[in-house]
Amino acid sequence: IQAQFTEKKLNGKRVIVTAGGTKEAIDPVRFIGNRSSGKMGFAMAKVARDLGAEVTLITTVPASFAGMNIIQIQTADEMMQQLKDVFPKADVLIMAAAVADFKPMKVADQKIKKNDDEDIFTIKLTKNPDILQTIAATKTSQQFVVGFAAETQHLLDNAEKKLNKKHADVILANDVSQKNAGFNVDTNKVTLLQKGHEPINWPLMSKTEVAKKFWDLYLNK
């Protein structure tokens, strides 16, 4: 079983992985973020590298892995910008990043001061672009795009909708209400959805094992 990962089966393939939660600026010292650790994306990137792929990791979480091109960004807009540059030449895109659905409408130039006579402070948010949907809409038949779906209920229904709406080839769905799956842990419990196939439930395993299983599936598709 180890042999398949010592062979460089992804030689010549260009793989892009996004990882981590986006940080949407409020003012020069504050942002809106989420609990994503970047671990699932990191595992996807490292296994692809070990299989010989040319990997670009676009991450909000600082990372210094050997043998891959690492681009650090903060916001969804920055992630989108980078992807527009690199996706046209890629073979595979893995959107493991937890992209914030909304960002502050305006970023204050100066640190926002609290006001003595106001106990409630309101920030108006505006929708971020859907990066996966926008980028996948441009993909050729040679390119392969993978999205994730983080759900706390109706996992299959919601993930199925994302598979169709976002033009993804695969959605890896995880029930993030479970303690050992999803955000900020080393393990994940994934259901794999593919157009025209029945969903496949993978057992609870380490994120590295999830990544190995995914790349194995990609290579045998």
Per CB under 5 A, residues contacting Ca ion are 101
Judged by CB under 6 A, the stretch of 42-50, 106-114, 144-152, 209-217 that binds ligand CTP is 144-152
* Nearest distance in Å: CB 99, Ca ion: 7
End-to-end C-alpha distance for the chain, whole angstroms: 18
**In whole angstroms, how far apart are CA 114 and each of 26, 27, 107, 111, 159?**
14, 13, 16, 10, 41
Pick between residue 112 and residue 156 the one whose CB is nearest to ligand CTP. Answer: 156
Query: For residues 138 and 116, what is the distance between their CA atoms, to the nearest angstrom?
Result: 50
Choice among 11, 34, 115, 158 that is catalytic: 34
At residue 3, φ and ψ (nearest 5 deg) are -55, -40
Question: By beta-carbon distance, which residue lies closest to Ca ion?
Answer: 101
Known catalytic residue: 34?
A: yes
Which of the listed partners (ligand CTP, Ca ion, none) does 211 bind, with a CB threshold of 5 to 8 Å by partner kind? none
Q: Which of 31, 148, 214, 215 binds ligand CTP (CB under 6 A)?
A: 148
39-50 helix and 207-219 helix, angle to the nearest 10 degrees: 50
The answer to whether 132 is a known ligand-binding residue is: yes
Question: Which residues does the annotation mark as catalytic?
Answer: 34
